[in-house]
Amino acid sequence: MIQEERRLAVLRAIVEDYVATEEPVGSKALVERHGLGVSPATVRNDMAALEDEGYIAQPHTSAGRIPTDKGYRLFVDRLTTVKPLSSAERRAITTFLDGAVDIDDVVQRSVRLLSQLTRQVAVVQYPTLSGSTVRHVELVVLGPERMLAVLILSSGRVEQRIVEVPVPLGDDALAALRSRVLLAAVGQRIAEAMAALGELAPDPEELPPGAPSVVPGADPRTVAAVVDVLLEAMSDERSDQRVAVGGAANLARFGDSFDTAVRPLLEALEEHVVLLKLIGEAGSGGLVTVRIGAEGPYEQLASTSVVSTGYGPGGGALASLGIVGPTRMDYPSTMAAVRAVAGYVSRILDES
Amino acid sequence: MIQEERRLAVLRAIVEDYVATEEPVGSKALVERHGLGVSPATVRNDMAALEDEGYIAQPHTSAGRIPTDKGYRLFVDRLTTVKPLSSAERRAITTFLDGAVDIDDVVQRSVRLLSQLTRQVAVVQYPTLSGSTVRHVELVVLGPERMLAVLILSSGRVEQRIVEVPVPLGDDALAALRSRVLLAAVGQRIAEAMAALGELAPDPEELPPGAPSVVPGADPRTVAAVVDVLLEAMSDERSDQRVAVGGAANLARFGDSFDTAVRPLLEALEEHVVLLKLIGEAGSGGLVTVRIGAEGPYEQLASTSVVSTGYGPGGGALASLGIVGPTRMDYPSTMAAVRAVAGYVSRILDES
DNA sequence: GCCTGGCACTCCCGAACGTCGAGTGCCAAG
DNA sequence: CTTGGCACTCGACGTTCGGGAGTGCCAGGC
């Protein structure tokens, strides 16, 4: 059907014009700006049909049309042509990210980069513990009853904890404990390492005080203290929920609808758990997820959209990143930027 | 002079009313709400005098008066009565901060607490390296050519770095290097530790390849690599410039003047260097600094004020914290909250 | 069957206008 | 120095009123 195609072209034109001008677009302006070879009246008929189907709406009678969430959805799913980044943007990504010195720096630079590229609020999750493997564990004696446990993960993250030990360890016992821990944890994924470590330290209260330790020469309570701290570091929910946020100044461009859009979003930006949930359902390997307006779980964010994806070594979804902005945004460019940054960050993680 | 005192009372009343109502305050409302025992006409005369001296201004003829920056300044310097925190607020501070597990957690909780207490944007600087002393240094062998250097500071911060060593160390050499490093650094302030460490590793290029090392059994280049990494960790400017920001949602209450006030502030919140400069010139030991409107170095923040102070073990100024808000703010309460949080955080640092 | 020009209709937007009231400045009297 | 009175100013608010953009619908043409 030829009219069917034209209708979609009209919808695309409406979305593009509305995103560019932020004003309801009328039939006359449409035919002028886009080279549809038909008259305004014809476009009006198409618009009426599109409105019946719920893709566009009028703010009030005798105003132009604006896309609905459903309209944006159709646009994103079927009408976007892949929009390659400009060479300046590519260059910006490489120069921006190549100077990063560690994983935290990568995340912070990414969030800045992403907010500048998209001119939206950017959100980048720090790599989660749970997706990575244990690269090394070190135990350091700080004093007679204090030790430091250091946990180094494949994602480049280093966690350290102070341990208060009830019974000091001799050198031999320390070496034994160290090798046992390394054997149990190194190379394993977090979940497996936790299981293996757990076996090293049976609940000390179930043992008689003088019972033989799993680790020769080390008091079982000391072993348990060390293991507990390591387990705690591995299961630290706080560090799984860390996110970096940037570009809040871009909210100033929201223009209208301060109360309905900006305020709830500002509040959400403080709630890292909420942000994680927003950008969390992300595809991986170049797949970008778009959540438009009321499709999301938060009523108050009904006029915001989320564009997100996963990143991680090998393109896996170790963590998520994305942007939050008004439903009225330039989806093709934004999606391209999100995909590109995620890809580049993943490659950096591959190398390190 | 009795009139002089009344004039100050009038100024105080104007500031208090304007802060409470956000509206220009007129002579009649003043006498009604505050118990000044004079007529509106008298107050009008006083107001005219205050206006001549630059303490208050009218937005337009026949409107009420609002305080100028100069008026707020006088109010803060001479008219504020110390306003003790409510017991609920005291309780909030203790319950909020007592659950903190490490220094980062303390900072993050503080920023949240402070923004909720003051209903403003809170800024807390992470404790600087430069103000603290070295508590411990640990060197850990990760592999034949990789080591991990861990630096533990009196502020509770732990820095770790991976070292690539050109020549592997034997056990004895490692022990020797470790004890030399500890001797040089532990207990010293950062600057002194850096100087002492520097002497351990003379520039290796000036030495003949086989020259005797300062550390018996260790190749001078390896020693230099380790020392370099430690020095780098100690002089890390990035970590001196870390700040936590919270309560941006409170900007929504700015009400009017979005473009002139909120937008520049949102931009400033992303620039951590700017924030540090804003809250940086802070007094210590219970002294709270207030910078009102255009007194600050940034023209664009002419309608914002900064209330800040230092904190650190023993009440010293290891780092700064404070809030940023509209010039029209409740200075007495805000100053009390800032002082109380800084004091409590300092005490936490004392204990750990 | 679909496109098109014409036409009446709707309704937002901005300007102009008038009214209201809060607040002021000034003056003369206490 | 204070006070009551009084005329005046000026923004806030509501109303009115064209202008114009845009629509829906209809009848005619391809």
Measured in residues, chain B has a length of 352
Among A68-72, A212-216, B329-333, the minimum mean pLDDT is found in: A212-216
Share in percent of chain A as helix, strand, coil (round to 5): 55, 15, 30
Residue A4 CA, nucleotide D1 C1', distance (Å): 86
Other CB atoms within 10 A of residue A140 CB: 21
The per-residue pLDDT of chain A, averaged, comes to 86
Q: What is the pLDDT of residue B91?
A: 93
Residue B296 CA, nucleotide D9 C1', distance (Å): 36
pLDDT tens per residue across span A265-313: 888 998 888 999 999 876 676 789 999 998 888 988 988 999 999 998 8
Which of B52, B61, B77, B63 shows the shortest CA–CA distance to B27?
Answer: B63
Which residue is closest to D8 in terms of CA–C1' distance? Answer: B62
Of chain A, the percentage scoring pLDDT greater than 70 comes to 91
The span from the CA of A328 to the CA of A66, in Å, is 10
pTM over 0.75: yes
Radius of gyration of chain A (CA): 27
Residue A55 CA, nucleotide D23 C1', distance (Å): 17
pLDDT tens per residue across span B168-200: 888 888 888 988 899 998 888 888 888 898 887
Q: What is the pLDDT of residue A206?
A: 56
Residues 6+ apart with CB under 8 A from A205: none
CA torsion, ordered B282, B284, B287, B293, to nearest 10 deg: 0
Share in percent of chain B as helix, strand, coil (round to 5): 55, 15, 30
The span from the CA of A161 to the CA of B309, in Å, is 30
Angstrom CA distances, B69 to A122, B291, B329, stand at 36, 10, 12
The span from the CA of A54 to the CA of A67, in Å, is 9
pLDDT tens per residue across span B122-170: 999 998 777 778 888 888 777 778 887 888 887 777 777 888 888 888 8
Please report residues of A whose CB lies closer than 8 A to that of B267. Answer: 249
Chain B residue at shortest CA distance from A239? B105
CB pairs under 8 A between A and B: 62
Tokens (6 digits) for B346? 């300092």
Of chain A, the percentage scoring pLDDT greater than 90 comes to 37
Which nucleotide is at minimal CA–C1' distance from A41? C4
pLDDT tens per residue across span A148-189: 788 888 776 777 788 888 888 888 888 889 888 999 988 888
pLDDT tens per residue across span A199-253: 877 665 555 555 556 677 778 888 889 999 898 888 876 667 789 999 988 887 7
Burial B290-325 (b: 16+ CB within 10 A, else e): bbbbeebeeeebbbbbbbbbbbbbebebbbbbbbbb
The span from the CA of B291 to the CA of B289, in Å, is 7
User: Are A160 and B150 a contacting pair at CB < 8 A?
Assistant: yes
The answer to whether A58 CB is within 7 Å of strand C is no
Residues 6+ apart with CB under 8 A from A143: none
Q: Confidence class of residue A9 from pLDDT cuts 50, 70 and 90?
A: very high
- Please check whether residue B312 touches A, CB under 8 A: no
Whether pLDDT at B42 is above 80: yes
Mean pLDDT of B258-264: 76
User: Are B249 and A238 a contacting pair at CB < 8 A?
Assistant: no
The answer to whether B6 CB is within 7 Å of strand D is yes
Residue A24 CA, nucleotide D21 C1', distance (Å): 11
The span from the CA of A182 to the CA of B141, in Å, is 13
The answer to whether B38 CB is within 7 Å of strand C is no
Which residue in the set A142, A150, A252 is minimally distant from B148, CB to CB? Answer: A150
Residues 62-121 of B with CB under 7 A from strand C: 62-65
Whether pLDDT at B283 is above 80: no
Half-sphere exposure of A346 (CA within 13 A, CB side): 22
Which nucleotide is at minimal CA–C1' distance from A40? C4
- Expressed in angstroms, the distance from the first to the final Cα of chain B is 53
Tokens (6 digits) for A56? 């566009």
Please report residues of A whose CB lies closer than 8 A to that of B252. Answer: 258-259, 262-263, 266
* Contact between residue A321 and residue A345 where contact means Cβ atoms under 8 Å apart: yes
The span from the CA of A317 to the CA of A294, in Å, is 25
The answer to whether B257 CB is within 7 Å of strand D is no
Angstrom CA distances, A55 to A45, A66, A76, A88, A300, stand at 14, 9, 12, 35, 22
Chain A: give the shortest CA distance to residue B115, in Å: 11
Q: Confidence class of residue B288 from pLDDT cuts 50, 70 and 90?
A: very high
Which of A129, A179, A123, A174 shows the shortest CA–CA distance to A147?
Answer: A174
Residue A38 CA, nucleotide C3 C1', distance (Å): 8
User: Are B258 and A251 a contacting pair at CB < 8 A?
Assistant: no
Q: Render B115-171 in DSSP notation, one character per residue.
A: HHHHTSEEEEEPPPSTTSBEEEEEEEEEETTEEEEEEEETTS-EEEEEEE-SS---H
Please report residues of B whose CB lies closer than 8 A to that of A251. Answer: 266
User: Are B246 and A105 a contacting pair at CB < 8 A?
Assistant: no
pLDDT tens per residue across span A304-350: 999 999 998 877 778 899 999 999 999 999 999 999 999 999 998 88
Mean pLDDT of A48-60: 92
Which residue in the set B136, B248, B258 is minimally distant from A269, CB to CB? Answer: B248
Among A118-122, A135-139, A155-159, A193-197, the minimum mean pLDDT is found in: A155-159
The per-residue pLDDT of chain B, averaged, comes to 85
Other CB atoms within 10 A of residue B51 CB: 15
Q: How far is CA A148 from the centre of its chain?
A: 31
Q: What is the pLDDT of residue B329?
A: 94
Q: Confidence class of residue B50 from pLDDT cuts 50, 70 and 90?
A: very high
Which residue in the set A158, A247, A248 is minimally distant from B160, CB to CB? Answer: A158
Q: Confidence class of residue B76 from pLDDT cuts 50, 70 and 90?
A: very high
Residue B179 identity (one-letter amino acid): S
* Contact between residue A340 and residue A85 where contact means Cβ atoms under 8 Å apart: yes
Please report residues of B whose CB lies closer than 8 A to that of A252. Answer: 258-259, 262-263, 266
Q: What is the pLDDT of residue B104?
A: 83
Whether pLDDT at B204 is above 70: no
Chain A residue at shortest CA distance from B146? A136
Half-sphere exposure of A24 (CA within 13 A, CB side): 14
Q: Render A293-310 in DSSP notation, one character per residue.
A: GGGSS-GGGTTEEEEEEE
Q: What is the pLDDT of residue A11?
A: 94
The DSSP output letter for A133 is: B
